[in-house]
Amino acid sequence: MSGGEARAVGVGSALTAPAPRPAEEASRLPTSEERELRLRVDRSSRRPVLVAFGCSLVALLLGSVFGLTASVQMHSPELAGPGWLTFGRVRTAHLNAMVYGWASLAMLGVSLWMIPRLVHQELKWARLAEFGVWIWALALGYQLVRILGGIPSGMEWLEIGLYTGDTFLTVGGGMVGVALLRTLLARAVPHLYVSVWYIMAALIWFPIIFITGNWPAWAGAESAAVNWFYAHNALGLWLTAINVGAAYYLIPKVLGRPVYSYQLSLVGFWTLGFFYSLNGMHHVIGGPMPTWMITTSITASVLMVIPVAAVAINHHMTVVGRFAALRYSPTLRFVVLGAMAYTAVSLQGIFTALREVNRITHFTQWTVGHAHVGVYAFATLILFGSIYYILPRVLRREWPSARLISWHFWLVLLGIALYVTALTVAGVFQGLYLMDPAVPFRASVDVTLAGLQARSVAAVMLTAGHVVFAWHVWRLWRRPTPERELAPFHALRPVVREAGS
Amino acid sequence: MTDRDLDRDVERMHRLLYREPADPGEGREPAPWWLWVLVAITLFWGGWYLGRYGGTFDASAHLAFAGPPRELPDERVAPPPEDLVELGGSLYVRHCQTCHQAEGEGVPGVFPPVVQTEWVVGSPDVLIRILLQGLEGPIEVAGELYTGFMPGWEALLTDEELAGVATFLRQWQENDAPPVAPEDVARVRAETADRVEPWTAPELTDPLEDGP
């Protein structure tokens, strides 16, 4: 793409609406120029992407062990270990390892690879980005030790120490953001694809909410309001934005089709930013907040049906007729299921935000199940899919084993299905028992026991899946680039065209 | 070397890139009509819900300390519950159950049981005193010795609520003693107005023979 073309910002601008392309356009074979560009771009982002994925996998394994430990202690409290292994600390360490370690670092990796790809430009200031990822990862590692040592800040999702952790995360993440912004400014495409909107918006939204949430100026009920403003937007404007952006890129990319509708992309993006940012107060229904704050939040939560429907239609219509492709592409399998889970978790969240439902489900295991549909079935599955796509490209070699991919896929899929079912059912009974004054409190605890035990089984499956995945990544990393090989699942691929034929 | 030869060479080196299709484009399909219907319905619902439950966007109801107390219209004042036992039962779950347990069985050595004991079904004045100012130190209940501490509730619960708790206890499970009226609580509250510290068992048992 020559630099002489108009460079208006592309988000929703009618002037730069995408030129209509013939349907076959996307699935044609790439020209040698395009291939050369991809090679160059992938090489530029290679180091920071590898560092981010490597650190995120370490956090994933650590977080799995923490999660499993906390889960077992819920039904077998006699297994509590020494102080640093008690539930309150291990559960907190699990959350922080998974959200800030696994998900956030993997998302930084995805962003660092995807943005240069999408703007047809090498990653600028790559060393700065790599350094930023290191700062984030090391600061988080230190914070996990602090949490296990029993000195977290006392707010959910904000347990990381203000001066010893939050500052470093802000600076490290900021360095990645600046490098990507610099890359965006040097873009060689006239039109910004929808994934760019989501990812770049998330990189701007996240520092805003992260700094607001950690700003040491709030007290009392105010503090609870800011706490949930942050925690909900960490899901909505950070995890959701980047993972929806990744799905928007990977689904049509793997299928070689255009995204169904530019109009739906626009509706989905802008309404997400507008409504999601108001959602946080539905976490404090019944709390000491002005009624209008909570009502506004519930209203915005219900209006989330608009972006969710828009994105769901857009993704579904892109895949429709090609679901068989899920068989040969591990990326597509993970990403499509993740995108479906996004629709599911959003609808469940809307339902749960209603006062009538919330009074039953609040403070029960239902909430824990819901959180895992979001962070696991949606965000984590899409991140797995992204890593399956990105790692072979930055390492320039294929995944060694189709069987390991299958094991990983089925372990985590069945694991999360069991996890969510068990906690959701247990949560409903727990909530109903808590509401009934004729039922003793103890009964509301006993009724969750079976669900909590099933959850531990699920946690073992998920952890096993993560070990398989990490082992596979290790093998991919260690293997030499072979002279000639085929992608896993290649035999099942329905459309293969020979070059030059 | 022809272009095609070069292509073949590149292909061998970069198979991964080669089997990758071009970057996705964006289709120009319009959104389905029913999405706009859904948008209209949810926006309309949102407006109604905000109006109905928005509390007139007024924070003063939650900031009682910021201004003079407002007179609430009569219908907002909760009517007194008709059934003292029901009121007492819900208060028991909230305030008493933690120590005296769900079935009123207590905890051995610390919190005495509240069923089948003379302390509860005996003199209402003794029971009311315990509820008002609390009880401290060793106490013998149904042949067992308990050493614990119970806080008084005089500052927290009204006469009617305390009468509810007392009546509930006196008629709970196998207990079958006459109810306690709010007026009884008011009388004892006046009699013991000077009492600050919790009662001890001997203080209450000595006059138990002929009423305190």
pLDDT digits (tens, 9 = 90+) for A242-254: 999 999 999 999 9
Question: pLDDT band for position A336 (50/70/90)?
Answer: very high
- pLDDT single digits (tens) A253-302: 999 889 999 999 999 999 999 999 999 999 999 888 888 899 999 999 99
Q: B14: which chain A residues are within 8 Å (Cβ-Cβ)?
A: 35, 39, 396
CA distance B18 to chain A (A): 7
pLDDT given at position A421: 97
- Reply yes or no on whether the pLDDT at A311 is more than 80: yes
Q: What is the mean pLDDT of residues A378-391?
A: 97
Choose from B26, B42, B99 for mutation: most chain A CBs within 10 A.
Answer: B26
Question: CB neighbours of A330 closer than 8 A, spacing ≥ 6?
Answer: A385, A388, A399, A405, A409, A488, A489
Buried b (16+ CB within 10 A) or exposed e, B128-144: bbbbbbbbbeebebeee
Question: pLDDT band for position A481 (50/70/90)?
Answer: low
Task: Show me where the domains of chain A are located.
Answer: 30-190, 232-495
Distance CA B144, CA B141 (A): 5
Kindly determine whether residue A35 and residue B17, on different chains, have CB atoms separated by under 8 Å. yes
Assigned CATH topology for domain A232-495? Cytochrome C Oxidase; Chain A (1.20.210)
- pLDDT single digits (tens) A1-17: 333 333 334 444 433 44
Kindly determine whether residue A499 and residue B18, on different chains, have CB atoms separated by under 8 Å. yes
Percent of chain A exceeding pLDDT 90 equals 75
Question: pLDDT band for position A99 (50/70/90)?
Answer: very high
Burial (CB count <10 Å: 0-12, 13-18, 19+), residue A209 = buried
Nearest to A30 among B22, B26, B61 (CB): B22
The residue type of A352 is T
pLDDT given at position B202: 85
pLDDT given at position A494: 44
Question: pLDDT band for position B50 (50/70/90)?
Answer: very high
Question: CB neighbours of B109 closer than 8 A, spacing ≥ 6?
Answer: B144, B145, B146, B147
Which residue is listed with tokens 């006239």?
A: A190
Distance CA A263, CA A413 (A): 32
Burial (CB count <10 Å: 0-12, 13-18, 19+), residue A480 = exposed
- pLDDT single digits (tens) A55-76: 999 999 999 999 999 999 999 9
Choose from B13, B16, B98 for mutation: most chain A CBs within 10 A.
Answer: B16
Contact A115, A180 (CB under 8 A): yes
Q: A303: which chain B residues are within 8 Å (Cβ-Cβ)?
A: 42-43, 46
CA distance A35 to chain B (A): 6
- Reply yes or no on whether the pLDDT at A486 is more than 70: no
CA distance A499 to chain B (A): 8
Contact A378, A279 (CB under 8 A): no
- Reply yes or no on whether the pLDDT at A406 is more than 90: yes
Kindly determine whether residue B24 and residue A302, on different chains, have CB atoms separated by under 8 Å. no
- pLDDT single digits (tens) A14-34: 334 455 444 445 456 667 788
pLDDT given at position A488: 57
CA distance B200 to chain A (A): 30
The partner residues of B151 in beta bridges, in order of sequence, read B134
pLDDT given at position B47: 95
Q: Of A487-501, B13-27, B95-109, which has the strongest mean pLDDT?
A: B95-109
- Reply yes or no on whether the pLDDT at B209 is more than 60: no
Q: Kindly indicate whether the ipTM for this predicted assembly is greater than 0.85, answering yes or no.
A: no
Torsion sign across C-alpha atoms A475, A43, A107, B20? negative
Nearest to B14 among A39, A262, A437 (CB): A39
Nearest to B50 among A261, A265, A299 (CB): A299
Nearest to B26 among A27, A259, A500 (CB): A259
Residue A466: CB atoms within 10 Å: 23
Range from A33-37, B61-65, B118-122, B139-143 carrying the lowest mean pLDDT: B61-65
Nearest to B26 among A39, A265, A440 (CB): A265
The residue type of B143 is G
Residue B20: CB atoms within 10 Å: 19
- Reply yes or no on whether the pLDDT at B99 is more than 80: yes
Distance CA A197, CA A270 (A): 10
Choose from A262, A441, A442 for mutation: most chain B CBs within 10 A.
Answer: A262
pTM: 0.75
Task: Give B143 or A490, the one with higher predicted confidence.
Answer: B143
Choose from A43, A272, A303 for mutation: most chain B CBs within 10 A.
Answer: A303
Distance CA A392, CA A489 (A): 14
Kindly determine whether residue B42 and residue A35, on different chains, have CB atoms separated by under 8 Å. no
Question: CB neighbours of A462 closer than 8 A, spacing ≥ 6?
Answer: A64, A67, A376, A411, A412, A415, A416, A419
Which residue is listed with tokens 């019944």?
A: A286
Distance CA A411, CA A487 (A): 22
Q: A265: which chain B residues are within 8 Å (Cβ-Cβ)?
A: 26
Distance CA B125, CA B192 (A): 11
pLDDT given at position A51: 97
- Reply yes or no on whether the pLDDT at A89 is more than 70: yes
Residue A46: CB atoms within 10 Å: 19
pLDDT given at position A400: 87
Question: CB neighbours of B171 closer than 8 A, spacing ≥ 6?
Answer: B85, B177, B179
pLDDT given at position B56: 77
Choose from B23, B96, B168 for mutation: most chain A CBs within 10 A.
Answer: B23
**Which stretches of A82-218 are DSSP H helices?**
87-96, 104-118, 126-148, 167-185, 194-214
Give the mean pLDDT of chain B.
Answer: 80
**What's the gap between Cα A3 and its chain centre?**
34
Q: CA angle, corner A218, sides to A217 and A223, nearest 5? A: 155
- Reply yes or no on whether the pLDDT at B210 is more than 60: no
Distance CA A165, CA A159 (A): 9
Q: B62: which chain A residues are within 8 Å (Cβ-Cβ)?
A: 288-291
Distance CA B204, CA B134 (A): 11
Residue A145: CB atoms within 10 Å: 11
Distance CA A52, CA A55 (A): 5
Distance CA A239, CA A379 (A): 7
pLDDT given at position A6: 38
The partner residues of A261 in beta bridges, in order of sequence, read B28
CA distance B152 to chain A (A): 23
CA distance B29 to chain A (A): 5
Q: B39: which chain A residues are within 8 Å (Cβ-Cβ)?
A: 306
Kindly determine whether residue B27 and residue A260, on different chains, have CB atoms separated by under 8 Å. yes
- Reply yes or no on whether the pLDDT at B19 is more than 80: no
Distance CA A102, CA A380 (A): 9
Q: A300: which chain B residues are within 8 Å (Cβ-Cβ)?
A: 46
CATH 1.20.120 for the A30-190 domain, yes or no: yes
Kindly determine whether residue A263 and residue B29, on different chains, have CB atoms separated by under 8 Å. yes
Distance CA A420, CA A433 (A): 20
Distance CA A362, CA A428 (A): 10
Kindly determine whether residue B61 and residue A291, on different chains, have CB atoms separated by under 8 Å. yes
Question: pLDDT band for position B141 (50/70/90)?
Answer: confident
Q: Of A91-95, B18-22, B172-176, B197-201, which has the strongest mean pLDDT?
A: A91-95
Residue A127: CB atoms within 10 Å: 12
Nearest to A295 among B32, B38, B49 (CB): B49
Q: What is the mean pLDDT of residues B13-22?
A: 63
Percent of chain A exceeding pLDDT 70 equals 90
**What's the gap between Cα A331 and its chain centre?**
15
**What's the gap between Cα B84 and its chain centre?**
19
Q: Of A228-242, A474-488, B123-137, which has the strongest mean pLDDT?
A: A228-242
Give the mean pLDDT of chain A.
Answer: 89
A30-190 against A232-495: fold identical:
no
Contact A175, A128 (CB under 8 A): yes
Kindly determine whether residue B35 and residue A396, on different chains, have CB atoms separated by under 8 Å. no
Structure tokens at A145: 């030790």
- pLDDT single digits (tens) A411-464: 999 999 999 999 999 999 999 999 998 899 999 999 999 999 999 999 999 999
Helix or strand holding residue B10 (H, E): helix B3-13
Distance CA A255, CA B201 (A): 82
Please report the number of interchain residue pairs, chain A to chain B, with beta-carbon separation below 8 angstroms.
Answer: 168
pLDDT given at position A129: 97
SS3 (DSSP) at A225: helix
Kindly determine whether residue B46 and residue A303, on different chains, have CB atoms separated by under 8 Å. yes
- Reply yes or no on whether the pLDDT at B191 is more than 80: yes
Kindly determine whether residue A18 and residue B7, on different chains, have CB atoms separated by under 8 Å. no
Distance CA B159, CA A203 (A): 59
